Amino acid sequence: MEKREFQNLKTKYLGRNLLYFEIIGSTQKELKTLENPENGTIIVADNQVSGVGTHERIWFTGAGKNIAMSFVLLPNCNLQKIQNLTVRIAECMIHVLKDLYKIELSIKMPNDIYYRGKKVGGILTESVSKAEKVQKIYIGIGLNVNQEEFPEDLGKIATSLKIEFGKNFDREEIIVEFLNQFELEFEKMIQ
């Protein structure tokens, strides 16, 4: 693990404390082991070998090809304010990819990002509450960016931006733009 910084980050807190791993089991599980993480702490990995999706399914992440990241938010807000958070995250990522690359993706409710019937990304949201107040929210995002092939069983249901659009994409550019836009969206939600 090493501390790094994102270029072009405009956020107040989201992504300001960046922990980078070349290889990791799961960004989400690692994030949960941090004692008293600062608001907006993010873990990004080049290679996630046992990523977790919804219902504890394994999330495949090719080495150095895709986005595997998790971040923590400490909102201390009422539970009602973050209803539909997972959908808002998916909408934000879709908006970012449209802004950056004119790509039109869709959401398979509530937490998957699709292109032409195949999964491109997924979001895992877990919260810790105490007496109707949300203390912590752990958000994991996996996005198939520059993967060129998948194991056979996944090839039928998953795809990547590179497979669909025939070019390499800048993973950091996508992450930074997402963090910039999502922090603003989240701040509106919890007001």
Query: Where do the domains of the chain lie?
Result: 2-190
Cβ neighbours of residue 174 closer than 8 Å, sequence gap 6 or more: 67, 96, 97, 100, 143, 145
Taking 60 as the threshold, does the pLDDT of residue 186 lie above it? yes
* pTM score of the predicted model: 0.92
Average pLDDT, the chain: 91
**Of the segments 1-5, 12-16, 76-80, 153-157, which one has the largest average pLDDT value?**
12-16
State pLDDT tens for residues 42-60.
999 998 887 665 545 555 5
Taking 70 as the threshold, does the pLDDT of residue 163 lie above it? yes
Q: Tell me what pLDDT residue 153 has.
A: 73
CATH superfamily of 2-190: Bira Bifunctional Protein; Domain 2 (3.30.930.10)
State pLDDT tens for residues 84-115.
999 999 999 999 999 999 999 999 998 999 99
Contacts 24+ apart (CB under 8 A), 178-182: 178/92, 178/93, 178/96, 178/141, 179/6, 179/9, 179/11, 179/14, 179/15, 179/42, 179/71, 180/8, 180/9, 180/10, 180/11, 181/92, 181/95, 181/96, 182/14, 182/89, 182/92
Q: Tell me what pLDDT residue 86 has.
A: 96
